Amino acid sequence: MSSKEKKSVTILTESQLSSRAFKEEAYDFYKELRKSQPLFPLSLGTLGEGWLISRYDDAIHLLKNEKLKKNYENVFTAKEKRPVLLKNEESLTKHMLNSDPPDHNRLRTLVQKAFTHRMILQLEDKIQHIADSLLDKVQPNKLMNLVDDYAFPLPIIVISEMLGIPLEDRQKFRVWSQAIIDFSDAPERLQENDHLLGEFVKYLESLVCKKRSEPSGDLISALIQAESEGTQLSTEELYSMIMLLIVAGHETTVNLITNMTYALMCHHDQLEKLRQQPDLMNSAIEEALRFHSPVELTTIRWTAEPFILHGREIKRKDVIIISLASANRDEKIFPTADIFDIERKNNRHIAFGHGNHFCLGAQLARLEAKIAISTLLRRCPNIQLKGEKKQMKWKGNFLMRALEELPISF
């Protein structure tokens, strides 16, 4: 999206927000919105019309606002026209990310014990072994595509082992995940995504059937037990929860590892500072989360009750999308917001969300990033981009800020 095109935009569409061109210039566009149009009109086709939120304070307020609902059934009456879902998507939407209290609390309680601080720390040695094994494979070549060779396999191996799913299926998860997070309204893409989601549903049916006959100590077996008790989890919720854990369990972390590595290599002074002071790693991770937020835009919230924001009426059924990426570059909250500073103080970013839907796997993502980046810098001290910065391309994707690839040499 060129500067001229940006100035002429009066309403944003799904296709614009999902385009690679938008991702390339999004931060400049967000800066303009924060100054003059913090409430910007959106049109998301069959999902509805509404507003894009770009300021930090508004984001904090709305992420906790009980007038906004994640489950459209809590907004639309049975007689009203409802948002159109893909046919095969209906079996995968009954998860905690799409639910409101009290359902959200019930669903989150079922899995949160697997993501406690104590449980996450027990994974440290396993994650370290995975990181070393992945680097063992590429180190003799002195180059790799960080996304395919390191950032993607590390978290997908971790979540696969936690859930108890076959590791050989991880490439399928990658394809299915992209279909789930792709908000495209192009007819051919919709048809393709629906087909892929149908494959995913069949896979889950087969997986759950095997786990029922041969349960073990993994998370899926625990969820199946909850489902068998009847009052805890329906079959639809079971499939949806497994899907969410697979997708959310790796997508965000892939982007965190990749985007942090990219930011460090684009800011050699910060990379060198981190090498000299490894105790800055935790601070560097928080700055990476803020600077190139792995999740750019939130999933949809629908307005259950009208309210006023910046002098405008937000009507019932209006869609609300919050730009976490923009909020994390808000100059009123973060001095020198466009500067990557691994020693930033009071870093109150909201890369993992805020309120009830704060990311359940935030601790795990941070630990995976800490081990992945520390191991990479230790074992590959001469790491550098293979190619020029302008050759690195952001994916055209609605929800995520993700690089298509990151070729590096060392």
Residue 293, CA atoms < 13 Å, CB-side half-sphere: 26
Q: What is the radius of gyration, based on Cα positions, of the chain?
A: 21
Q: Is the pLDDT of residue 108 over 70?
A: yes
Asked if pLDDT for residue 155 goes beyond 60, the answer is yes
For the stretch 53-82, pLDDT in tens is 999 999 999 999 999 999 999 999 989 988
pLDDT of res. 287:
98
pLDDT confidence bin for 89, thresholds 50/70/90? confident
Helix (H, G, I), strand (E, B) or coil at 143: strand
**Could you give the CA distance from residue 350 to residue 292 in angstroms, rounded to a whole number?**
12
**What pLDDT is attached to residue 389?**
87
Q: Where are the alpha helices (DSSP H) in 182-229?
A: 187-213, 219-228
The domain spans of the chain are: 3-409
Q: Is residue 9 exposed (0-12), middle (13-18) or buried (19+ Cβ within 10 Å)?
A: middle
Q: Given a cut of 90, is residue 173 above it in pLDDT?
A: no
Q: Among 249, 200, 272, which residue's Cα sits nearest to residue 360?
A: 249
pLDDT in tens, 129-154: 999 999 999 999 999 999 999 999 99
Residue position matching structure tokens 């949160």: 112
Does 38 have pLDDT greater than 90?
Answer: yes
Average pLDDT value for residue range 195-199: 90
343-357 confidence digits (pLDDT tens):
999 999 999 999 999
Q: For 86-115, what is the mean pLDDT?
A: 87
CA–CA distance, 25 with 2 (Å, rounded to integer): 8
Mean pLDDT of 193-219: 91
Confidence of residue 91 (pLDDT cuts 50, 70, 90): confident
Average pLDDT, the chain: 92
With tokens 């839907």, the residue in question is: 357
Fold topology of 3-409: Cytochrome p450 (1.10.630)
- CB-based contact 222:112 (threshold 8 Å): no
Decide if 21 contacts 6 (C-beta within 8 A).
no
Residue 162 — very low, low, confident or very high, per pLDDT cuts 50/70/90?
very high
Q: Give the pLDDT confidence of 10-21 residue by residue, as tens digits.
A: 899 988 999 999
Dihedral of alpha carbons 147, 182, 369, 280, sign: positive
Instruction: Name the one residue in this structure whose structure tokens are 């680097």.
Output: 135
Report, as an integer, the average pLDDT of 336-342. Answer: 98
pLDDT digits (tens, 9 = 90+) for 295-333: 999 999 999 999 999 999 999 999 999 999 999 999 999
Res 183 pLDDT > 90: no
Statement: residue 4 has pLDDT above 60: no
Q: Give pLDDT, residue 187.
A: 73
| Single-letter amino acid, residue 293 | S
In percent, the amount of the chain with pLDDT more than 70 equals 96
Q: What is the pLDDT of residue 228?
A: 63
- Distant-in-sequence, close-in-space partners of 134: CB < 8 Å, separation ≥ 6: 149, 150, 153, 154
Assess whether pLDDT exceeds 70 at residue 3: no
Instruction: Please give the share of the chain, as a percent, with pLDDT higher than 90.
Output: 75
pLDDT at 179 over 60: yes
